[in-house]
Structure 1
Amino acid sequence: MSGAPSGRPAPPYVDATKPSIARVYDGFLNGSDNYEVDREVVRSVLKTAPEAADLAVENRRFLIRACKYLAEQAGITQFLDCGSGLPTAENTHTVVQRIAPDSRVVYVDNDPLVLAHSRALLEQVKGAAIVSEDIFDPEALLQNDAVRSQLDWDAPIALLHMGTLHHYNGEHARTRQDIMRSYIDALPLGSYVAISHFLDPEDEYSATARRMEDVFLHSMMGSGTFSTTAELERLFNGLKLIAPGLVRCVDWRPEDAAIKSLNVAQRCIAGGVALKQ
């Protein structure tokens, strides 16, 4: 099929005529598991904001730092990673098992390519699994046999929703806050919730954020909403935000020296980690 990665035909379980969120992110990260239809979305967004690839880059960096914090400082050894996407060099289980080898990670996705690649990757990995569920249907997801059996629901769990909620278009006739409330209500006390999301910074960069949003929403992908800080705070449903709070991803416990000059994309994705007490 024309436009397949490395000239290979798309496997029969992949529809290469429609863009996939996971494959579009892979394209932004210069990965090889994407198709021409995905790259068209990437090109469209880059025309509006040439630095837009950093939305994916900063999302991934925030995931890594948040997982390090949760494993190293919060002592969490169980992770439910919703919308995990295509495997990369530093996956959640790679990061946390380096710190705590007995950590357990359950990935959730329903993209066929993600499922195939992740199952192959995790086949020989102890303590990590992937399940196929709709991450915007928490009631069904939380009743999945593997989700129930792989994690101890009497002990703290870290719930990760990294770069996922801005792709929710109301398919389940409920708000993003309602979806997160269902997850949070099910979590044991002492659990953590980590979220990253496209941000409308409500400053001179707002116009560019909204232009990027318009391109995402009117592309074949059809999703990618930018929200204000107040809107994003509501997704945590009153949980205690861990310092420095809900901030731009690049500003959340950076490991390197502070970046003096941020591009528009780095200013337009935010993240936070919160504790259920």
Structure 2
Amino acid sequence: MIGEAPGGVDVHTANASRIYDYMLGGKDNFAADREAAEQIVRVFPESRDGVRRNREFLGKVVRYLAAEVGIRQFVDIGAGLPTANNVHQVAHSVAPDARTVYVDNDPVVCVHGRALLAKTATVAMVNGDVRKPEDIHAKVTQTGLVDWSRPVGLLMMAVLHFVDEPQEHVAKLREMVAPGSYLGITHLTVTGERGGDTERLRQIYSRANMPVTPRPAEEIARLFGDFEPVPSALFIPPYLVERFGSLGSGGVARKP
């Protein structure tokens, strides 16, 4: 996408999905995205590595759910642009019959994603917003790939900090999944010692297509409700949890 703008794409306003893509070393980004990303790196020098570690975390979660738990259907909300080691690719490396539905509220991301995923029968991408859980449920159902009466891997990685007051929406999504389902979340944090840096991060994203709201780790933990936590050491070593604690938090939990 570098140097070539599809019709209808605003190349002058930084886009959260394209910032993430650039941080991962992707090519689906423009000058405004790269400039915003470099501003973020100046504020949080660990952020580029943090984005890559977030992607590793996602991959380890999917591999664990497919290989150790037997999950065969995944719903990835706030999926962003397809890149390396996507959810369906990791799941297929363990179970070729695994099914994945990606959900994103950016229509351009969805068009691009559908084009890239068109030849994979066990994968779909739908336009949906985490603030409309019932709509997501309906659209995912329409793909024919997910049976909500059976356990699902519900993933919301690096998306909820773009949502005002996400607790109620996530609670509804937790209600929709069957017992034995798993919820994976990562989220930008705010801490007292890095409060000024976090405010500058907010300002950068306020000029992009999505304002961002980092939250305290305790508030992020409440997003899991009464789900049973899975030990985080299965997916990320403790030293990385400490290293990135001022940047992000999250985890994985199982519905009883």
1:15 aligns with 2:10: yes
In structure 1, C-alpha distance between the alignment counterparts of 2:104 and 2:85, rounded to whole Å: 17
Query: How many residues end up aligned between the 2 structures?
Result: 256
Query: Which residue of 22, 26, 32 maps to 1:31?
Result: 26
Aligned-partner residue type, residue 183 of structure 1:
L
TM-score after normalising by structure 1: 0.84
Report sequence identity in percent: 34
In structure 1, C-alpha distance between the alignment counterparts of 2:148 and 2:99, rounded to whole Å: 12
Residue 31 of structure 1 deviates from its aligned partner by 1.5
Contact residue 73 and residue 145 of structure 2 kept, 8 A: no
1:253 aligns with 2:253: no
Query: Which residue of 246, 249, 253 maps to 1:274?
Result: 253
In structure 2, C-alpha distance between the alignment counterparts of 1:260 and 1:243, rounded to whole Å: 14
Contact residue 106 and residue 147 of structure 1 kept, 8 A: no
Query: Which residue of 161, 166, 190 maps to 1:176?
Result: 166
- 1:127 is aligned to 122
1:153 aligns with 2:141: no
Please give the per-residue CA displacement for 1:47-87, whole angstroms capped at 9, x wherever unaligned. 21223212321211110011011111111001001011111
Change (3 A) 1:212 1:97: farther
In structure 2, C-alpha distance between the alignment counterparts of 1:89 and 1:126, rounded to whole Å: 19
Residue 274 of structure 1 deviates from its aligned partner by 0.7
Change (3 A) 1:243 1:261: closer
In structure 1, C-alpha distance between the alignment counterparts of 2:234 and 2:213, rounded to whole Å: 21
Query: Aligned runs of 1:40-119 on 2, under 5 Å?
Result: 40-119=35-114
Residue 208 of structure 1 deviates from its aligned partner by 5.8
Change (3 A) 1:180 1:194: same
Aligned-partner residue type, residue 239 of structure 1:
F
In structure 2, C-alpha distance between the alignment counterparts of 1:209 and 1:196, rounded to whole Å: 19
- 2:179 is aligned to 189
In structure 2, C-alpha distance between the alignment counterparts of 1:134 and 1:218, rounded to whole Å: 19
Question: What CA RMSD, in Å, does the superposition of the two structures yield over aligned residues?
Answer: 2.3
- 2:2 is aligned to 6
Change (3 A) 1:234 1:119: same
Contact residue 148 and residue 178 of structure 2 kept, 8 A: yes
In structure 2, C-alpha distance between the alignment counterparts of 1:109 and 1:75, rounded to whole Å: 25
Change (3 A) 1:237 1:80: same
Residue 38 of structure 1 deviates from its aligned partner by 1.5
Aligned-partner residue type, residue 190 of structure 2:
D
Aligned-partner residue type, residue 16 of structure 1:
V
Change (3 A) 1:209 1:198: farther
Contact residue 28 and residue 53 of structure 1 kept, 8 A: yes
1:234 aligns with 2:234: no
Contact residue 138 and residue 179 of structure 1 kept, 8 A: yes
**Secondary structure of 1:151's aligned partner:** coil
Aligned-partner residue type, residue 7 of structure 1:
G
TM-score after normalising by structure 2: 0.90
Contact residue 228 and residue 253 of structure 2 kept, 8 A: yes
Judging by fraction of residues, say which structure has more helix.
2
Aligned-partner residue type, residue 273 of structure 1:
V
- 1:136 is aligned to 131
Residue 223 of structure 1 deviates from its aligned partner by 2.0
Contact residue 78 and residue 104 of structure 1 kept, 8 A: yes
**Secondary structure of 2:70's aligned partner:** coil
- 1:247 is aligned to none
Please give the per-residue CA displacement for 1:159-191, whole angstroms capped at 9, x wherever unaligned. 1000000011x3xxxx21101001011111111
In structure 1, C-alpha distance between the alignment counterparts of 2:56 and 2:241, rounded to whole Å: 17
Change (3 A) 1:16 1:77: same
Unaligned runs of 5+ in 1: 245-250
Contact residue 209 and residue 268 of structure 1 kept, 8 A: no
Change (3 A) 1:222 1:258: closer
Residue 151 of structure 1 deviates from its aligned partner by 0.6
